[in-house]
Amino acid sequence: MTIPNILTTIRFLLVPVFPIVYFSGMENAHFTALCIFVFAMLLDVADGFIARKFNMITALGKMLDPAADKCMVITVVATLVATGNLSGWFLYFVLVKELVMIFSGSFIYKKEKIIIPSNFFGKLAAFLTFLLLVDAMCLGKFIDIFSVVVVISMACAFITYCISFVTVKANQVSQNTNSNKNTGV
């Protein structure tokens, strides 16, 4: 197992730790939970950097990394909705969006053997989501407006992922057509 995949595994292990600490009632529980969330996000940045810098990108990592992100974000959002720090509609939107991404990504991989890589809009949506969740845990300022901005960024990311799939698929068809022409098939 590569170092990035180990870091991703640690992020998965932190998912249940967040709500346990958040709801623990211990002194500074919310701050400690915030630190866990920030640490998990820093591990995400580190595993991506290491994977690219040292050529440790794997198919497993391409699937596990976003899954760890989705699990942590859904857990944090659900926790913040349960405590009234975020509106319930935001959780429903995130759940539907993530389930569509998971099932469509799994279907595309199973049927087409294509993994759509993250892109600028996906990273922007993830960063804005991170800022929203930190704001909801710390300041609670402009949550409704910020939530709408995050939803718009997620929608843009989803659209660009759909465009990426169509582009990759079109390139595959084009390559297969050219290959068949070159082999006389």
User: Quick check: 90 and 151 in contact, CB under 8 A?
Assistant: yes
Give the CA count within 13 Å in the CB-facing half-sphere of 94. Answer: 27
Residue with the bigger pLDDT between 106 and 156: it is 156
**Which residues lie closer than 8 Å to 73 by C-beta, 6 or more apart?**
94, 98, 129, 133
Architecture of domain 3-183: Up-down Bundle (1.20)
> Tens digits of per-residue pLDDT, 92-114?
999 998 888 888 878 888 887 77
Whether the CA torsion 167, 173, 175, 181 is positive or negative: it is negative
In this prediction, residue 51 carries a pLDDT of 94
User: Using an 8 Å Cβ cutoff, are 3 and 43 in contact?
Assistant: no
On whether the CB atoms of residues 30 and 137 are closer than 8 A, the answer is: yes
Amino acid in position 110: K
The whole-angstrom separation of Cα 8 and Cα 79 is 21
Could you read off the pLDDT of 76-90 as tens digits, one per residue? 999 999 999 999 999
Q: How confident is the model at residue 185 (pLDDT cuts 50, 70, 90)?
A: low
Sign of CA dihedral 110, 114, 115, 121: negative
Global pTM value: 0.86
User: Tell me, what's the pLDDT at 103?
Assistant: 85
CB 76 within 8 A of CB 129: no
Domain boundaries, the chain: 3-183
The DSSP 8-state label assigned to residue 56 in this structure reads: -
- Residue 112 to residue 107: CA distance in whole angstroms: 8
Closest CA to 82 of 155, 136, 153: 136
Per-residue pLDDT of 34-58, as tens digits, reads: 999 999 999 999 999 999 999 999 8
Q: Report DSSP state, residue 116.
A: P
Report, as an integer, the average pLDDT of 154-166: 89
Predicted confidence at residue 104, as pLDDT, reads 84
Q: Compute and round to an integer the Cα radius of gyration of the chain.
A: 19
At 118, the pLDDT band (50, 70, 90 cuts) reads confident
Residue 182, pLDDT score: 63
